[in-house]
Structure 1
Amino acid sequence: MTAARDVLSVRDYGASHGSHDHDHFQILFGLHGVLELEVGGHGRRIGAGDGCVVPPGERHDFEARFGARCLVLDSQARDWARAVSFTPPPATMALATYLARACTDRLPRAQQHGPSLLLEAWLPPADGATGRPRRTIDWDALARWALARSSVAPTVAELAARVHLSAAQLASRCRDERGQSTQQWLRELRLAQARAWREQGLSVAEVARRSGYRSPSALTAARRRTGI
């Protein structure tokens, strides 16, 4: 169900650097140009047909050196937590283009039904739709493997390949079994390791380097937001 405060819009981004966070989900879908994002200390590139779900409270920096246009959804719907680790399929572009045009033309039905349609298009079919038994995930072993990667955090696709699942399947399993997105699980795992390194006496700069954060301040901000 669409949250009452869901708002669809089309936004143009320029070369001016911006940085903020929200108390709601923000969904960005690229329509034209390239928007450079940094979310939680990790870079993201949103070109035409690409998408990103920014969770509540996650500070993100952004700029588009040559200009970019995005469909933007500000949403209170908690179901978007399931989409954080997913890449929208190519077919989503047609829907996003229609919704962008509907926003420009101020069509009320687009604002009413667009957010739920976008979520449905973004998410892959649930595991249960295939009728196949679920593969067991050894989360402790996966955590040890992920942390052994040193300063280079594995991607969701690499984590999924490690347990012989697709990225979409792993994201669904992580949400069901761990209660969070794959990226959130990995981020909290690495921040817990960073805390352990600090307790061992390593400097903040060294811990940031080992943890894959761009700067000590980025690591400190991430720990402050999560309380880890």
Structure 2
Amino acid sequence: MPPPSLPVTLDCSLRHYGGEHPAHAHATHAQLLYALSGRMELEVDGHSAYVDTVTGLWIPAGTRHAYLAPPGAQMLVMDVVAPPCTALDKLRRFQVPRAASCPPQALAATERLQLLLDAPTLLPRRGVDVQALEAHIRGALHTPWPTARMAAWCHLSPQRFHARWLELTGRTPQQWLRQLRLDQAERLLARGRSLEASAADCGYASASALAYALRRDRGTGARALRRR
């Protein structure tokens, strides 16, 4: 897509959000946003939307929008002042290019804008709240978590959930879950909890299964962790 007609004024910044913000509109500039970490739920002209680390949103000037974000969400926000232009005057959901997944100082604003204008448009799709699902799983880590169960919690098919999770975390659901279990097991063992109790708390079938996973993936054992 060609760049918008000049003159264009760009203000690119990293902003930290948390909580709810009432509906408002920017009369003089369009706004482009996506997450560098976390996610944000939005209502745009009465329709629900979201942004995360792989899904961005172009909000035209004058478009009313409200948002809700968990504490600590980091959003890349670009305010764009430009003459009327088809590329900038329509609400658009786009796929965030990897080259644009960096803080403002790491990429020139004009280059970032061009990358985002050229990014593929995404059809509406159900969002996946990584932090919410992680908190839910942590509360029941001792139970089995097949991909189908994780997908059902997010109201997605296992195939779509697998693809979205890989996009968002860079790992398959089971790779991510394995690391979550091991991280928690290491913390418990470092606090002096027994190998058997740690295995049960973290969803391993036996103490030997946890011991094997620690050696294979972390190159350590229960005794070494307790000495830390």
TM range (shorter): 0.3 to 0.5
Pick the structure with greater CA Rg.
2
Higher relative contact order, chain-length normalized (CA < 8 Å, sep 6+): 1
Q: Which has the higher helix share?
A: 1
